Structures are given as structure tokens and as C-alpha cells.
Structure 1
Amino acid sequence: MIALPNDDKSCGWYDVLPMRTKPVQKLTGTQQADYAIIGAGFAGLAAARRLSELKPNARIILVDAQCVAEGASGRNSGFVIDLPHKFSLEHPDPALKQKLLSLNRSAIAQLQGLVDKFHIDCQWSAAGKYQGAVGELGETHLAHFEHLMKDLGEEYRWVEKAELKKVIGTDYYSRAIFTPNSYLMQPAALVRGMGENLPENVELLEQSPIRSLQKQNGQWLLQGDNGSIISPKLLLGTSIFTKEFGYLKNRLLPVMTFASWTRPLTDQEMKVYNGEQDWGLTPAHHAGTTLRMTADRRILIRNTYKHVPKYGANVSDYARQQIHNEHRKAFLNRYPDLADVPFTHTWGGVYAISRNFTNFFGELDEGVYASACDNGVGAAWGTISGTLLADLVVGADSQALRDIRYVTGMPSLNPPEPFLGMGVKFRIALAKWQSKSEL
């Protein structure tokens, strides 16, 4: 039995999108494809586009259990980060870090090109990123981050409290480090825009969950509710759900993180706020609070992590209200003069991490390929890994393909339950306690 996505229906990014202009196409009947792709997020969309370039006469079917942008790719905080993940930044191999940086920047250039080519209205912005500290603990982490940036040879600068307040409209933070080459966007708008502008030989089928997967006569049979797909080549852009198809079992950890945001601030409220629009701040301590002011004047708060072995089914209405309350407290700590501004949405998104912080990329079975486990940095990683997965499938070669094979590997095995769940919950609780001064 394949467990399907079980996302809440209160994702702010998705809810504010305009009505779709094209009807949803669903899987019906028996469809024969040269290439089948499951998962229409960043990885699946990139793989479909690249396959179309490499094989313009092939029939490519991209299928998703939900509508495009309803899943994890449309639920993140809207950062496209060029730097390696914080844990990767500490890796002892300088070549690995440089390859990750190059891959991420290739992904950003690719997304920039699509935004420009198709005029995707997604608040795409070369705004850079602040990494902010609230107090002494956060500043210790920033000093370590500075050391890592020096080792990497990357541009950065310190932003002191007074200057930072002019940008973010609050003196809650003591200092920050600014890095200039990250981008901001509206993730659901970007993902939907890419889905609406796929090449002609890519067929997008939505609201079409695949219930079973089996090999028959050298072909893969993907069985849905009202139809099936038969293909010799299958690409999985399914992140945490890869294990539902029998692959990477006991190697991926499903984690949800949550966000809330306000309605757009009025002109008067913007005067009270007295900061800039369109910036993003990540926490100095990884378990702290992410903060954004969107281009359309919404303040977004993201924190709170949960281990969700049953995905969205693990989060009750009561739990969501508690998360809402925690976000509200974080908001009021930063913007007490905006206490009358309500939150309009609170939502979660599930993603995959591994215990050894290793991303999987490659062939899982004969004719089955996957990019799985983004470790929480999915926009850039999903884009480049999906693109290069298509290269791998058709036998193309490039320096980028060699680089991604260099930096990826096998996620480590997890301990059995109940020890896994107990351990993950303890680690999350410990991180929350350690970062309490930064929340």
C-alpha cells in the first residue's frame, strides 16, 4: 500500500495564486511512454524539461498525485540558496564544497532563464540572504559561519544591529551576515509557472496518484486509479515518497517544518514596520526562526520541526493550532507594534533528510532512476539533480554530471522503530531547547 501525500489545505503560497487557466489533465486508460516521471516538483519538472531537450521525439509523461505546486516544492520559504547546506559547509573535502556551489549556481541560472523566458510572475528576486543572530548563542554560530565562508572563499559581510533594523524593521536581532548570491521567490507560483510551460512532448497528468509499481516484460507498469502508464524508463522525483515505491527504505527521515504569514500590510502598517520589502533571513542556529518580508508585504515566520512517519496525518488540528500560537509568539517578539496584524495561513511541508546528510542520485533498479533526499534545500538541488538525472538516463556526459556523482552517495540506514522515532523526537526537542534564545 503506497501512502500518498497528505498535505494540509492551508498553504498560503498556493492559496493566493490566481485561478488556473488550463484544466487539470488526469491519468486515464493505458498510456505508453518512452519515459515516465513520478513527482512534478522541482526535480520532476527539471527532469522532464531536460529529457525533452535530449529526446525531442520521445513521449514523456510526468505524473503527480496532487496538482502542481500543492506539494513540498510549493511549500518552502521561498529561498533559492547558492551556498552548500550548513552541514555540507563543514565537510573536510574542499572539492566537494566547490562542486556543490557550482551545481547550485547552475540551478539558479536555469531557474532565472525559465522565469525570464516564460515571464513567470513569481516574485523572483536577486535579494541575497541574511543569516541573523538574536543573542550570544547565535553570534557564536555566525562566527563559525564566517570561518566557513573564508575557507570557501565566498563573499560575505557583517551587518550590525542598526543597519539590520533598517532592512527588517525590528531590533530583535543583534547582528547578521549577508551573502549576496541567493535568490527569493514565491515557490508555488514558480512551480506552477514551470508546469504550465512544459515542452510539447511532455504530458503533465495531475491528481493522478500511482498506487502500485511493478515490472512486466521488461517494462515498468505504473498503476493509477483510472489508468496506467507503461514505460521502459522510470524517473522518481518523489523525495521522501521514494520509499513508498520500495526504494531507499529505512534510509530517509520524513520531517515537516511549518510556516505562518500575515495578510499584506497596509500603507499605514508599513510605516509602523519601517523596514524594507523583499528580504529573507535564516537563523544562525539551524533550529531557530526563518523570517521573510515578501514582495507583496507579507511577513512570514517559519520554525517548528516534527518527525512525521505518516506525513500530514501526524499533524492534528490541535497540533497545527499550537504551531500557529508558537509562530504568533515569535512574530510578536519581533514586531510588537504590529500586534493587530493577523496571520491568514499556517501550513506545513514534508521533506526528506538522512542521518549522514547525504543526497541520493542515481539508478535504483533496472530502468529506475531517482534523485531523493534534499536535506531541506530543495529548490536549487531539486532543479539541478532532476536535470542531471535526465542526462544519466540517456547516457549523456558532462562535468556537472560527474560533479553530482562525486557529491552524492547512499543515505545511511536508520535504526529500527521504536528507537528511530524516539531518537528523532529527542534530537528535535534538544535542538529546540538549545535554540530557544534564537526563536
Structure 2
Amino acid sequence: MVHKTKDIHHLPPDDTPSGWVDPSELSTIGSRAHHDRVTLFDWTVVGAGFTGLAAARRLAELNPNDTVALIDAKPVGWGASGRNSGFIIDLPHKFDLDSDDADRLSAIMRLNSQAITDLEGHVKATGIECGWSPVGKLQGAVRERGTGKMRTFVKALEKIGQPYTKLDRAQVAQIIGTDYYAGAIHTPGCVLMNPVRLTRGLARSLPKNVTLFDGCPVVRFERESRGFGLTLRSRGTTLEISTSSVLMCTNAFTPEFGLLKNRIVPVITFASMTRPLSDSEMEAYGGQLDWGLTPADPGGTTLRMTQDRRLLVRNQYDYAGHYGVQDRSLEGVRQKHRGAFDKRYPQLKKVPFDSTWGGVCGLSRNHVSYFGEIESDVWNSSCHNGVGVARGTISGRLLAEAASGQSSPMLQDMFAVSNTPSLNPPDPFLGLGVRARLKLAAWESKEEI
């Protein structure tokens, strides 16, 4: 519950941003020079990732005479939305695949597909240069554990009538340049992109009645006699915002605002990316450009080959009680990534990683996401369980529609697949338990990492 005054103690840290763009590109987008110290808005959206961007856009479209504030503690693209591996997945993913409920799986599919349609429309209409590529994705397996999970994936696809193609070791190697994988399933609906360029393109093309405050962390949140007050920190000064309604699109940070306390588990996952391969390295690599592979075993390794010849490897997880990782801790992660990379691409052992980074996602013990009006005039979508690009985009849009009094079959789908995350034990017990579970999962999945 939001108390009368809630000071925000843990802000997003100044940790290493993702390697998708040069860090010099991650400047703030919003201009605050013309704003008064106290500003009134009809709506305020907190969090300018995929969820918040979609929510702010839809609020502005549905309420063209209203004013909308969109706030983020960091420059757009710095946070979790710019730290993923660049997949927009249309299918039920990871823990959703454990469901035997065909109606639930179909609802997830409809929601994710609508998210892709919405994003594609914005990309084309505004000319966002983000490497948008509807090439589908591979789900790969290395050994028996992975192939078993792959069979479960196929059953889920058949249950909801989705097309797929089975690829053997040689066929996978022709695409990804290594015969390390026993096989893979190709599904056609996934889109690959550069997540930093996409989020920043979406932010630059928001409707005119949206005011963006990025690089402005909320340091106080209070319920007033009419609406809410938010205190922002901006370049050493403070800004006061008064607003009638708040949409919290803060995912793992939501408990810092007094909401869903002890219900979201912040987990950080890590990625490393090479520099672009040279012509001779491309010849040694021998695979194709522009593909993405997710592991059939959720504890395995994700791979990407970008359109500009960079290879990305993602694995390793940790509990993120303070929402980030110290730079010195990244060296150990980089070494583990090096081992996974070299096993797959021994011919590229001399190709260095340009960057290594971590990104925080919100998980729940019962693998569900929250969606809805969590308190009077406070709406929340959070805890997307590691699949936030599609789920975040569609939930942001639908959160704005619900807050604006609309109803639709799509909203019914969203409410049907959402619930309340389970209650967690407090720290330090939560951190100890999560780290123990992650170590067990890494041991179980060691052949797939």
C-alpha cells in the first residue's frame, strides 16, 4: 500500500550499461529546461521501458486533451529494456510452457502477437532504425536434458496449433556456425532487434501531449488529498509533479514504491558481446548473419548474431537485492561467458568481448505477472518473469486502456493470464534461497551452458 509519504531508498544504480550501443549515445532524451518546479499532469507513468513507453503512448492517444508525464530514473535505454538480448517472442516462453491449459497458452500467444504488431507499426510509421528483423528464432539443445525440454516445447506448439521446423545438428550448424548443438526448433513469429535503438526510437516519437522526464529518479511518492505528488531529482535540483492517476511500470523496482512488497524476486542475468567480426573471422565462423537462439533448457545459453557481425552470449544469474552489479564482479562473469563462447566457437577464440553487462528482471515464485489497479488510481504491470519486451509492450497498452475505462477481449486475455505473485520470505533469507536455487539450476543445466 502507498503510505501518505514514501521515500524511495534504492534507486537504479550507475552500473555498466548494455553493449548494444556506445555508452555515449545514452544521453537523456527529455528536455526539462522549460518546466516549472511544480507541474500538474493528468496522468503520470513511472518507468520508461517497454511497458511505460506503451502505456504513455496509449494514454495520450485515448485522452488527447490530457497531459501525460513519463518518468525514468535513467536515460531511456539504460535500464532493463535496453539490456535484453534483442528478442520479441510471440510464443509462450520459459515457465509459461509448463501450463497444460491450451486456452491460457493461446491467450498469451494473442497478447504477444499484438505486441509485435503494435511495435512493428511504430517502427514503420516513424522510421526507427533498430535492425527490425522478423526472422523467427531457434530454440536449441546441446544434450539430453535440452532435447527433453525441446520435446516439451514442441508439444506446447502443437497444442496451440503453431508452426515449427525441426533442424538437425548439420542444419543448425549451417545457420549458427557451430555443430555444438544436437538440434533446434525454428519458429517463425519472433522478431529480432536492437533493444536500445528501439526503446529510444519509441521515446523520441511519443505523442505531443507526453512529457518525458528521463534521468530523473523519483525520490518521494505521496498520496495527496487529490491525487498524488512525486518528487524527482533532476541535475542536483528537485521537481515536484502533481497528478491525478499513476501507472507504475517499474517491474522489479515496484516494491520500492510500497507496492507488491516481498512478492517480486529481482534477478540479474548477464550478457557479453563481441566486437564486429572481420572478413577473415567471418570466413572462419562460417554461419549466417541475423539469427537468435534461446536455450530449450531455461538455464542454458542464449546466442545472437547481429546484422553488424557481433556475437552475443548470455547466461549466468544472480540475486539482485540492490538492482545492479558492481563492475568488478563482471570480470568473473566475462570469464564464464568466454568459456561458453569458446566451446561453441573454438575458431574464434581470439575475438574479444567488447562489453559485458547485467540486466535485472522481476520474477515471482508462482511464475505469474501482476496487472491491474493495485490501489485507487494506482495501476501496475510488473513481474514479467524475464519475457518483458512483448509482455511489457502489450501490458502497458492495456493498462492505459483499463485506466481509461475501456474494455476489450484483449483486456480479458490479460486479466486471465495475470495473478498476484506469491509472498516471499524477507531478506536475507530470500537472497540466500534464491542464490541456492540458482546454483542448483546451473548445476542441473551445466551441459546446456
Mapped to 2, the partners of 1:23 and 1:415 lie a distance apart of 39
1:57 paired residue number? 65
2:251 paired residue number? 239
How do 1:25-424 residues align onto structure 2 when only pairs under 5 Å count? 25=32, 29-225=37-233, 226-312=238-324, 315-424=325-434
| Structure 1 residue 309: Cα displacement | 0.8
Relative distance call for 1:180 and 1:7 in structure 2 (3 A) is: farther
SS, match of residue 247 in structure 1 = coil
Q: Look up the equivalent residue of 1:141 and give its one-letter code.
A: K
| Structure 1 residue 92: Cα displacement | 2.8
Mapped to 1, the partners of 2:135 and 2:245 lie a distance apart of 39
- Normalising by structure 1, we get a TM-score of 0.97
- Matched positions, count: 437
SS, match of residue 233 in structure 1 = strand
Q: Look up the equivalent residue of 1:422 and give its one-letter code.
A: L
Mapped to 2, the partners of 1:111 and 1:7 lie a distance apart of 28
Mapped to 2, the partners of 1:380 and 1:430 lie a distance apart of 29
Mapped to 1, the partners of 2:36 and 2:355 lie a distance apart of 34
Q: Quick check: 1:264–1:297 contact (8 Å CA) kept in 2?
A: yes
Mapped to 2, the partners of 1:59 and 1:324 lie a distance apart of 44
Mapped to 2, the partners of 1:6 and 1:19 lie a distance apart of 15
| Structure 1 residue 216: Cα displacement | 1.2
Question: For each residue in 1:205-254, what CA deviation from the matched residue of structure 2 results, as whole angstroms up to 9, or x when unmatched?
Answer: 11111111111112100012311110110011100111100000000000
SS, match of residue 447 in structure 2 = helix
Q: Look up the equivalent residue of 1:379 and give its one-letter code.
A: V
| Structure 1 residue 416: Cα displacement | 2.9
- Normalising by structure 2, we get a TM-score of 0.95
Question: For each residue in 1:46-94, what CA deviation from the matched residue of structure 2 results, as whole angstroms up to 9, or x when unmatched?
Answer: 0111011100011111011110111100110000000112221221322
Relative distance call for 1:101 and 1:216 in structure 2 (3 A) is: same
Q: Look up the equivalent residue of 2:348 and give its one-letter code.
A: L
| Structure 1 residue 149: Cα displacement | 1.6
Relative distance call for 1:143 and 1:21 in structure 2 (3 A) is: closer
Q: Look up the equivalent residue of 2:276 and give its one-letter code.
A: P
Relative distance call for 1:387 and 1:17 in structure 2 (3 A) is: farther
Q: Quick check: 2:293–2:302 contact (8 Å CA) kept in 1?
A: yes
Mapped to 1, the partners of 2:161 and 2:303 lie a distance apart of 26
Q: What is the CA RMSD across the aligned residues, in angstroms?
A: 1.5
Mapped to 1, the partners of 2:349 and 2:65 lie a distance apart of 57
| Structure 1 residue 97: Cα displacement | 1.1
SS, match of residue 313 in structure 2 = strand
Q: Quick check: 2:272–2:314 contact (8 Å CA) kept in 1?
A: yes
Relative distance call for 1:354 and 1:219 in structure 2 (3 A) is: same
1:429 paired residue number? 439
1:6 is aligned, of 5, 13, 31, to 13
Mapped to 2, the partners of 1:150 and 1:45 lie a distance apart of 34
| Structure 1: runs of 5+ lacking an equivalent | none
Mapped to 2, the partners of 1:24 and 1:75 lie a distance apart of 24
Q: Quick check: 2:370–2:418 contact (8 Å CA) kept in 1?
A: yes
2:4 paired residue number? none
Q: Look up the equivalent residue of 1:57 and give its one-letter code.
A: N
